[in-house]
Structure 1
């Protein structure tokens, strides 16, 4: 590892910690940057660090580049680099980079034209880069990767920081992927696999790093995460992605109908009968497998412009449940949209923040539509509790 580069990052970490000693420092490292992040964390075990490692180059010793490095060192230093594999490794995939420029609001013809123009530009850039880059530059970078990977691997045991490991590309995925080894080695590590993505994950046209951080409940403002206070409402791009892409088939299947009751007792279509401000508690009854939750959240975002907070089973947020899936999935979107583990403390905090809260009595047994004892008694108690925080009562029906 280049000692000068490591020292620069180390001094920056110490400076940021001195400015805000009670706030975490997020360190994001891609490829060689991942090795650098691991090395810095090992040197600062008492600093509150959160590492985001994206395909770290800790497996460099196992790659073909390590094998051909001695051969590259024998070549003339002024020789231009034209090997496609080397170019893709150094500057990324041209097609994936070209897709970044495509906007969702374009027509099919406009999108194809935009993709064609951008791809031609990227291919020309790749060709020109092969003529500009010389062999001595490539050898220098490969040696830097080799030393960085060796240094990072030697200090994995000393990393005390919280780690989120994002893996994509065939060389990083199970069963023989590097991400699996790091996940088992690092003490406090979460992992998410992106099987249909390329190696340059941050350059993917529709990849959002903040969404992933929120989905794994890693965003926090203090020493410990508070799932109520640390919540960041979903962005417009996140809402469009879930409502228009990932969850569109589910929403079409449910065909939701939102109904509410006005103060006059009249039932109207939409959420006009729901107050604009909280705190409000909604007590519901699960449809099969609780599939209607996503439609309720989307309905409130569309009409009320508010993120409704769902009190969910703590099992959905447990570390053991997360390690079983390890894919960024629908369960992670629960956290993105503000779901929290159900508990009296979390419920009171949500009410103090004037939030819209959804409670489903019965838990897993009700989700699967098995017999639930005391269901109506629980619903009545939840309603009595909500009356202490709001003088108005509204009912929302979601029919599939």
Structure 2
């Protein structure tokens, strides 16, 4: 950032505007955006009671911030990025009310910019690198997102309830230290692709897609409890593909697609922690296919499908002796087809459903560019469409049938897979 911008920020710290300013009476757009944010703090900060986001008057406050932002002048992607950086290195975000209001404000600004560009037929691609600065509540409650990359920040509630009652095309969040990253994403909204990577903190993506829809949500290299927990856990909730790989912490992917929520594929690989996949497909929930590979911990798969419906469950390398008895008991629950790694059919179905390919792509996506991540996500979705075709065959024949995949379909999937593997290989 330029010295002029930093000086502008210092000058505005003491400003207390009186009324919405719509005239271009500022030396820069940065001054205008900071001044407007300070006015939001002054106008709406007293609506908060400082009991914490879970108990505070946050939704009514956020609505007021959105109304204010809707009346503001237009600004650019670079203006928004400039604002975020300058706020992250300032002392404006130290106390509860300012950091909460500025978090709402950043989300409202992002939504306003996205909607404005959509009306013009333009994309909104924003990539923000925080350089490990702190920004609690960044982009909280942002309703509309086109393509957003947020990385290298510290702070809690980053991208909390993003896409709530709105839409997300592509969201990539990585290298974050803080709890509740992407908590309740796409709540009562829609998201095409959500990707989280290198997250240190609890409750990452917890309760996402509540009464909403997500095509693909993928979390990798997460340290903290309740990662990808309670996704699609309400009526009218659906996630087509949920993938969690390389996760350390309790309750990872637990209670997914439960309480009348639904999911297509749930894939869990390389997870260390208690209660992994506990209560998945529970209490009226529905899951088409669960694939669990290399899971270590206690109470794995407890109550899986209980009073709900899990159509197929494939398990490999479950590192827990008591789980063998629990998996046997799953047959008395509502798990239609169980295939363990000890079964002669296990490898056949892993390959037939292309689960090995999907898992490999998910792991290869680690550390790749946003464009490569989007290509990987699209390929995973294409492969899963072929998987669904195989799964529609009658279950009574499924365990004993030989591979009957049409050669042209298999060759098409294999070609797409090899192309992506070549793309994602480390470059010399």
Asked if these proteins are the same fold (TM beyond 0.5), I'd say no
Which of the pair is proportionally richer in helix? 1
Which of the pair is proportionally richer in strand? 2
Report 1 or 2 for greater relative contact order, CA contacts < 8 Å, sequence distance ≥ 6.
1
Larger Rg: 1
Give the TM-score band, short-chain normalised.
Answer: under 0.3
